[in-house]
A and B are shown apart, each in its own frame.
Chain A
Amino acid sequence: MTTVVSTRPAPAASTAAPPADRPPRSERRAGALLTAPFLVIYLLFLIGPLLVGVVLSFFNTTTVKSGLGDFVGLANYREVVTDSLFWDAMWHSVVFTLLTTPPLVILALVVAILAARMRRGRVFYRIAFFAPYVVPSSVVALIFLWMYTPQIGLLPKLFGAVGLPVPDFIGSTSGGWTAVTLMTLWWTFGFNFVLYTAAIQDVPPDVYEAAAIDGASPWQQIRHITVPLLGRTTSLVLILQILASLKVFDQIYLLLAGGPNQSTRPVIEYIYDTGFTSYRGGYGAAATMVYFVVIVAVSAAWYGLRRRRAGSTAV
């Protein structure tokens, strides 16, 4: 997964432009040769699928046999935008984003601030919070499925012991969302925690010393120094989280298989189903393109907003 923004200022460019005349042949040749292997693979296998998707979306290609099929113009798109199942799936991806983004951002911020105040045990916190992130999604799903098992799972027992009504974690829609949200929280929390921790460490310590000399309590320091200084990081964490959540597939597919009755099926699973269960490649490609435009629009909006914000603070 590769949504990337450099979170730290990159080292200042030290390539002072040498004399402006034409670089020697050997340099030009070396440049082209060293770039070529990556560039070929990049164009073929990263840009390639995008172009293939655009082309396929105008044909009624099937995924079972090779060949493009017949040209159908905009028919695929017309069908996608009028298919309520597609919009349901889009909505489910949005619901997942709305459920997971606030806790994952706020909790990570709070915990990172607390952890940064500790003098001891930082490695322990880092390991405890980040370890789940390196575990494959299917293993996480197996463990949580066992913990959600009715009657004998750990979580139903725990809910029962505290006196809460036990939700039907796998069999109902609302219980399913709870199950998926809790699992995602456990699995990906460490990522945001690490981003915040790195940003907090970049705050120069003399800011706090000055505040402490002025008699600011720890709470005031957090409230008036740390949180405001983390504004940029929060915006970064937020967009990375929104983009990652909109692309959800693994957790919902593994835990609920999009059920019950497709009531939690996210849009990637919709595309998966049209492409690999109904074998409608062209139609699936059209759905992909609609979804793709939404994702790109979200990240473009964020970049634009960020640039405008940066421009206005610079003035």
Chain B
Amino acid sequence: MTTITTEPTPIARRSAPAVNGAKLFNRLCAVCLTLFALIWLVPFVWALITSLRSDGSITQNPTSPFAGGWSLHAYSYAWDNYPIGTWYLNSLVISTLAVVFTVAFCSMAGFALAFLRYRGRAVVMALIAAGLMLPSEALVLPQFIEYRSFHLLGTFWALILPSVAAPVSVFVFQAFFRGIPTPLIEAARIDGASWWRVYATVCMPICRPALSTVAILTFITSWNSFLWPLLVLNQTKSQTIPVGLASLVNNTNIQYAEVMASSVLGFLPLIAVFLVFQRQIVQGIATTGIK
């Protein structure tokens, strides 16, 4: 494994006499942990390196990354031969619409459940709590037949609607809204604001953290979902990135560089999104446990 030769550096060189057990322990931990983290990066690095090489030199010298020189040839090949651009566009449109509808509908429901008293509120609460336990992805087959009878197969709606129906988003919004002090709402009401205005102009601006949690997690889940789009979108042109790239898995493919170039194109945008929003994403996962 040639990629992990970095020395674990952050060890202090000035040897103070007070190197006691605790300090030694911490250093040992740091070394182990850093090594472990570097191992975790190997698949990314390996994919990237492979994608820059030529197939001939990969088969001859598989483990020496610099043999044969580097080029971007595999990327242009992958881009020309697979409709990666179209897949991207599909994924982007589907995930964005899923986010927009999920945020809009689920925040409205969350607001109503948190502040308003109306008939059926208790029933809706119970339904949502029950829905949280429902393993919906186990139900793909009946789901498929239901969507077919609605003539939704092959449309983007088929991929957007399941995201919107996820009770967890309502749950997140409702929990956040309940943290908003009621006097604020009452004050707005006394000023003559309608409930819609209270929702749209008072509460939504406050709930930015909940909004970003739901938006980011919905986006990632929708972008990455595999089985459902595989069943629903059956034309190559209308496929999403994960399903489209999965078609490369089956072709006993020996064009290693080209396949890895496609993989890099497949993970790069998500890694970019992740690097920008990593704090929010991690916080969102930690508070909701969405899996």
The secondary-structure label for the interface of chain A is helix
- Closest partner residue, chain A, to B260 (CB atom): A146
Q: Residue on A with the closest CB to B139?
A: A49
CA distance A296 to B33 in the complex (A): 37
User: Do A139 and B242 touch across chains, with their CB atoms under 8 A apart?
Assistant: yes
| Distance between A16 CB and nearest chain B CB, rounded to angstroms | 7
- Answer yes or no: B134 CB below 8 A from chain A CBs: yes
Is residue A184 within 8 Å, beta carbon to beta carbon, of the partner chain? no
**At the interface, yes or no: B113 with Cβ under 8 Å from chain A?**
yes
A178, CB-defined interface residue at 8 Å: no
| Least distance between A271 CB and chain B CB atoms (Å) | 6
Q: Which of A71-79, A94-102, A119-127, A306-314 makes up part of the contact surface? A: A119-127
User: A34 on the interface (CB 8 Å rule)?
Assistant: yes
Q: Which residue of B lies closest to A142 (CB)?
A: B263
**Residue from A8, A42, A66, A128 having most chain B Cβ neighbours under 10 A:** A42
Who on chain B is nearest to A31 by CB? B118
As a 0/1 sequence over residues 175 to 201 of chain B, the CB contacts with chain A under 8 angstroms (1 = contact) are 110111110000000000011100100
Q: Would you give the 0/1 interface string for B27-61, flagging 1 where the beta carbon is closer than 8 Å to chain A?
A: 00110111011101111101100100000001100
B36 touches A111 (CB 8 A): yes
Interface string of A22-39 (1 = CB under 8 A from B): 010011111110110111
With both beta carbons as reference points, the residue of chain B lying nearest to A298 in the complex is identified as B135
Chain B residue nearest to A136 (CB atoms) is B242
Residue from B182, B275, B285 within 8 A of A127 (CB atoms): B275
Instruction: Report the bound CA distance from A137 to B161 in whole Å.
Output: 21
**CB distance A1 to B112 under 8 Å?**
no
Q: Which of A38, A149, A217, A284 has the most CB of B within 10 A?
A: A38
Q: How far is the CB of A186 from chain B (nearest CB, A)?
A: 6
The reply to whether the CB of B75 lies closer than 8 angstroms to some CB of chain A is no
Question: Are A281 and B182 also in contact (CB < 8 A) when A1-B290, A244-B291 are?
Answer: no
Within 8 A of A (CB), among B39-87: 40-44, 46-47, 50, 58-59, 62-63
Known pairs A138-B243, A139-B242, A143-B43; A46 contacts B165 (CB<8 A): yes
Residues of A close to B287: CB separation below 8 A: 6-8, 198
Contact between A136 and B241, CB atoms less than 8 A apart = yes
The B-contacting residues of A in range 32-75, CB under 8 angstroms, are 32, 34-35, 37-39, 41-50, 52-53, 56, 61, 63, 66
- Report A51 CB to chain B, min CB distance, Å: 8
| Chain A residue contacts of B256, Cβ below 8 A | 146, 149
Which positions 190-205 of chain A face chain B at CB distance < 8 Å? 191, 194-195, 197-198
A247 x B138 contact (CB < 8 A): yes
Let me know if A6 and B291 touch, CB within 8 A. Answer: no
Cβ-defined contact, B141 with A285, below 8 A? yes
Query: Does A179 reach chain B (CB closer than 8 Å)?
Result: no
User: Digit string of B256-283 for contact with A (CB within 8 Å is 1, else 0)?
Assistant: 1001101100110011011100100111
Knowing A139-B242, A142-B262, say if A38 contacts B135 (CB, 8 Å): no
In the complex, chain B residues 193-222 whose Cβ is within 8 Å of any chain A Cβ: 194-196, 199, 220-221
What's the Cα separation between A127 and B41 when bound, in Å? Answer: 9
Tell me, rounded to whole Å, the shortest Cβ–Cβ distance linking A8 to chain B. Answer: 6
- The answer, yes or no, to whether B133 is at the interface (CB within 8 Å) is yes
8 cross-chain CB contacts under 8 A:
A2-B168, A7-B286, A7-B288, A35-B108, A134-B220, A157-B63, A218-B26, A300-B133
Minimum-distance CB pairs A-B, first 10: A31-B118, A198-B286, A53-B142, A31-B116, A30-B195, A11-B179, A152-B62, A136-B242, A138-B246, A38-B109
Chain B residues within CB distance 8 Å of chain A: 1, 10, 21-22, 25-26, 29-30, 32-34, 36-38, 40-44, 46-47, 50, 58-59, 62-63, 104-106, 108-109, 111-121, 124, 127-128, 131-146, 148-149, 161-162, 164-168, 170-171, 175-176, 178-182, 194-196, 199, 220-221, 223-224, 226-227, 231, 241-243, 245-246, 248-250, 256, 259-260, 262-263, 266-267, 270-271, 273-275, 278, 281-283, 285-291
